[in-house]
Amino acid sequence: MKDKIQAFFNKISPVLDKVGTNKYLQALMGAMMATLGPIILGSFATLIGVFAANQKLTNLQTIAGNVGNVTINALALYIVFLVAKHLVPFFIEGDDGTAAGIIALMSFLILTPLGQIKDGKNLITAIPTTWLSSQGVFSALIIGLLVARFYVYIKQHGWTIKMPAGVPPMVSNAFASLIPAIVTGVIAAVVSYLFLLTDWGSVHQMIYSLIQVPLRGLGGSIGAMIVVSLVMQILWFFGIHGTNVVLPLVTPIWLAMDMENLAAIQAGHAAPNIIGLAFFNIITWGGTALGLVLLMLIAKSKRYRDLGRLAVVPALFGVTEPVIFGTPLVLNFDFVVPFITNNTIVLIISYIVTRIGLVARFTGVQAVFGLPIGIHASVEGHVSIIILQLVIQLIIAPLLWYPWLRHADKKALAAEQSEVKE
């Protein structure tokens, strides 16, 4: 049975590897990772703004609100630029994608309905933040990809202004992107006009209604998160980078949910979503492997004790590669059940205790990888979430790993004793 399962995954491994290295998924993941700085800054600004409001520190609240508005509430602007910028280099060697990113940003703004605000007797044109924040994330992804591919098509067919040899690269590149910018801008303006004639009113509203809301319904539930967790760990078990294959598909959905939480908190409301990217990352921190490492420290076999001592410090910071590949957990059927299911179990437990109110809802702040246990969870701004992570990693995880390590430890100890006798 084991051989049949392994043969099956060996057969589909090339397909999964292609998915994990897909240009478009890589561009989306790269763009999402590149927004980490603005997201973290905006997240903390939101928390500071809530504190300032409670303490009636008006000036501090104003500054924090401004920072939040140009980071969290403008996330789609960063994403549309970064998606185009990350995709172009996969197709055109030597092009860093900056020009395509600017064209994508321009197109996004052309497609965004403008508003007006009164300044005394004058009306001033303004850009509402409605489609610049979480509601515009999927529009940003789609527009960024389409503009980047159109830019690549124009460049590859030579429809650009070519400058004579000797012209500085900066000038030459500026003229080379002139035609793509004008053509793409005109198309965006025509599309924007056509959508004014529809019930949607804008391309953003259409994408939000037809794509983002349904996808959130499919991928934004605890059931979907459980499926993602199981698939990810099954792939990891068979030596396939499950994170690279699966996470890019759900990151836009979960990140948008986190941004909704932050926007609600900034407005003084309760967080609407229990799950999100922050929830997944903090609850499944280190793949719960710290519990296994702690048990190894008191193992009877020298093999596991030595590995535990080697892996414990990195594991306290969420770095669990030493134990994953040192045990190994990959293709080790002695640990197949906990390796695949532990993340799912703690996700279910965490969802339940959050749903019934024992643990606060996550704010959606994105934690930086490499923070130690407890500190990693503290960014969510509530002590109950810190306690939850500590309980998961120090109590629940060891209990989940214990029967499996005990069995493997007995085998290792017997092998060591037989070697001594020989």
Each as own residue / partner, the long-range contacts of residues 88-91 (CB below 8 Å, 24 or more positions apart, any chain) are: 88/148, 88/151, 88/152, 90/23, 90/26, 90/27, 91/23, 91/152, 91/156
* Residue 216 confidence (pLDDT): 82
* Residue 158 confidence (pLDDT): 84
Q: How far is CA 246 from CA 21, 25, 100, 231, 376, in A?
A: 11, 10, 27, 8, 23
Instruction: Return phi, psi of residue 315, to 5°.
Output: -65, -30
**Alpha carbons 340 and 342: distance in angstroms, whole number:** 6
Q: How far is CA 58 from CA 67, 120, 264, in A?
A: 14, 24, 19
**pLDDT tens-digit profile of 156-210?**
988 877 766 666 666 667 777 888 999 999 999 999 999 999 999 999 999 999 9
Low-confidence ranges of the chain (pLDDT < 70): 1-13, 15-17, 19-20, 120, 163-172, 420-422
* Residue 188 confidence (pLDDT): 96
Task: Determine how many CB atoms are found less than 10 A away from the CB of residue 97.
Answer: 24
How far does Cα 420 stand from its chain's mean position? Answer: 49
| Residues in CB range of 218: below 8 A, 6 or more apart | 224
3-state SS, one letter per residue, for 8-70: HHHHHHHHHHHHHCCHHHHHHHHHHHHCHHHHHHHHHHHHHHHHHHHCCCHHHHHHHHHHHHH
Select from 78, 85, 84, 194 the least CA-distant residue to 132.
78
Select from 26, 160, 22, 30 the least CA-distant residue to 99.
160
What tokens were used for 304? 């596991």
Q: What is the pTM of this model?
A: 0.83
Rg (CA), the chain: 25
**pLDDT tens-digit profile of 255-272?**
889 988 988 888 888 899
| Residues in CB range of 111: below 8 A, 6 or more apart | 139, 143, 188, 191, 192, 195, 202, 203, 204
Under 8 Å between Cβ of 74 and 58? no
Task: Determine how many CB atoms are found less than 10 A away from the CB of residue 115.
Answer: 13
Per DSSP, which regions of 207-348 are E strands? none
* Residue 76 confidence (pLDDT): 93
